[in-house]
């Protein structure tokens, strides 16, 4: 069984010989990391249906009770794993120009959603959110709200710079920029190339009568 080795690796990150297996010193970091890593791995390897509490417990060398003590469902585990991996990855750069900022950001968002491993987890979580309103609420407050704030950043900076009018409907504009990406990823499964994301930016510029300073 792999867990022995995995556990060893996990504990080696804790500097000195501080291994606690079951003890009176609070939660086992080792167990927590093993669970998250295994959950991620199972999702990528066997798909959503292949992620089970029993499967995670067995492969992580962890007791089921330990998982239930700290997470309330397998989707909660996956969300934790996702948050650990994904947070702060998707912040738009500041090139000082709305066109450049958006172009870069949408490309990276597209890649994240359609190509990356965390993107696969994201899709699984969004799927779960369709089935479970409580989970949906949780997912929004723990990830999506923050993501929406990051989505809006380039526009806010452009308003600050005076490139865009201050009375812009931020929510609607953001939805028009990122909505088509999510639509392709979640619904049509068509590939998203640079021409598609760049096209979104161009459309945005055109309807606000702006022009791109540079072209890629």
Partner DNA sequence: GACTAAACGAGACGGTACGTCACGTCTTAGC
Partner DNA sequence: GCTAAGACGTGACGTACCGTCTCGTTTAGTC
Residue 66 to residue 46: CA distance in whole angstroms: 23
Number of residues that bind DNA (CB under 7 A): 28
Which residues are CB-contacts of 4 (< 8 A; sequence separation ≥ 6)?
61
Q: Single out the segment in contact with its own copies by CB under 8 A; choices: 3-11, 64-72, 96-104, 180-188.
A: 180-188
Residue 162 to residue 159: CA distance in whole angstroms: 5
Structure tokens at 194: 């640079």
- Please tell me whether residue 49 adopts helix, strand or coil conformation: helix
Query: Of these, 45, 69, 203, 213, which contacts its own copies (CB under 8 A)?
Result: 203
Binds 69, which of DNA, its own copies, none (CB < 5 to 8 A, cut-off by type)? DNA
Report CA-CA distances (Å) from 51 to 11, 20, 124, 135: 24, 27, 11, 17
Structure tokens at 105: 């950001």
Which residues are CB-contacts of 98 (< 8 A; sequence separation ≥ 6)?
154, 155, 157, 158, 161, 163, 164, 205, 210
Query: Of these, 21, 25, 131, 215, which contacts its own copies (CB under 8 A)?
Result: 131
| Residues 45 to 64 in contact with DNA, rule: CB under 7 A | 52-55, 61-64
Binds 65, which of its own copies, DNA, none (CB < 5 to 8 A, cut-off by type)? DNA
Query: Of these, 49, 165, 211, 215, which contacts its own copies (CB under 8 A)?
Result: 49
Binds 134, which of its own copies, DNA, none (CB < 5 to 8 A, cut-off by type)? none
Binding site residues, its own copies, CB under 8 A: 47-49, 123-124, 126-132, 136, 140, 144, 148, 169, 171-172, 175-176, 178-184, 186-190, 196, 199-200, 203, 206-207
């Amino acid at each position: 069984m792999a867990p022995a080795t995995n556990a060893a690796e996990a504990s080696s990150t804790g500097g000195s010989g501080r291994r606690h297996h079951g003890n009176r010193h609070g939660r086992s970091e080792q167990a927590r990391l093993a669970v998250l890593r295994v959950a991620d791995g199972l999702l990528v390897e066997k798909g959503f249906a292949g992620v089970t509490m029993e499967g995670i417990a067995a492969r992580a060398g962890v007791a089921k009770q330990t998982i239930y003590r700290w997470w309330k469902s397998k989707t909660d585990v996956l969300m934790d794993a996702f948050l650990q991996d994904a947070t702060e990855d998707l912040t738009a750069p500041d090139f000082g120009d709305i066109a450049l900022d958006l172009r870069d950001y949408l490309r990276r968002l597209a890649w994240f959603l359609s190509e990356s491993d965390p993107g696969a987890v994201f899709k699984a979580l969004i799927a779960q959110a369709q089935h479970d309103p409580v989970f949906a609420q949780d997912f929004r407050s723990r990830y999506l709200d923050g993501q929406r704030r990051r989505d809006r950043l380039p526009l806010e900076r452009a308003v600050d710079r005076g490139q865009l009018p201050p009375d812009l409907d931020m929510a609607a504009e953001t939805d028009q920029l990122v909505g088509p990406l999510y639509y392709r990823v979640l619904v049509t499964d068509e590939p998203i190339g640079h021409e598609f994301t760049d096209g979104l930016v161009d459309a945005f510029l055109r309807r606000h009568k702006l022009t791109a300073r540079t072209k890629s």
